[in-house]
Amino acid sequence: MRSAENTPASVVRRRSPSGSERSTVRGSDITPGRREKYWEDRPDTSRRYPWAVAPHVIRIIGDPVLKQRASEVERVDGAFARLVEDMFVTMYEAPGVGLAAPQVGVQQRFFVYDHDDDPGVIINPTIVESRGEAAFVEGCLSVPGLHWEIIRPAEIHVKGFDLDGNELDLELDDFACRVFQHEIDHLDGVLLIEHLTDEQRAEARRALSDLRMRRLAPPEPDLAPGRLRII
């Protein structure tokens, strides 16, 4: 997922075991040490990965893997950690700020993200509560070059786990809320076109048919400040 300028910061509230809440303006549960492990202040990928080629190809609409519900992650080991790091490279090379495992052909329930230059990964995420409604412009690298205004809940409460097996308990709004909902949709086999109105669906069918005929993605949309694309 890539953000345009002036995107509002998201307030992430982490619930403590006692039930109290601690608020910070950030978008990840990665500690400074873990953040250092993956991405040090988000440098150019060529400095850390000299081959500068994304390890995975992002799957495009029409690929059956995008319509399947991903399975729960049952084992987190060295191979899984390397997969997560590869997904960060793929996300940044896109470039983007969110990438779900099914988008690279991996049928497991996790995604990586980087909001406010603060990278994170969440494993087996679940939305336990949602509130309100908000409209944002969304797009998707799995539906290249197209974007629509989508209405989703304005705030969500999400639970999941980090790479160390620690439980994450997050209250999200604004941009982070949108990122998490879009990526969790991917884990459920749902693409953003399934959130469209009838009029938008008709437009989408025409646009996708044109893409298939030309085998080319259209020019990047010129989004107004504060809008976003989801990767």
Task: Please give the Cα distance from 21 to 155 (Å, whole number).
Answer: 15
* Active-site annotation, residues: 183
Task: Please give the Cα distance from 162 to 117 (Å, whole number).
Answer: 18
In this structure, the strands spanning 98-100 and 21-25 are unpaired
If we measure between CA atoms, which residue out of 125, 123, 120 comes closest to residue 73?
Answer: 123
For residue 198, what are the contacts with CB-CB under 8 A and spacing of at least 6? none
If we measure between CA atoms, which residue out of 84, 93, 99 comes closest to residue 1?
Answer: 99
The label of the residue with tokens 């995420």 reads 125
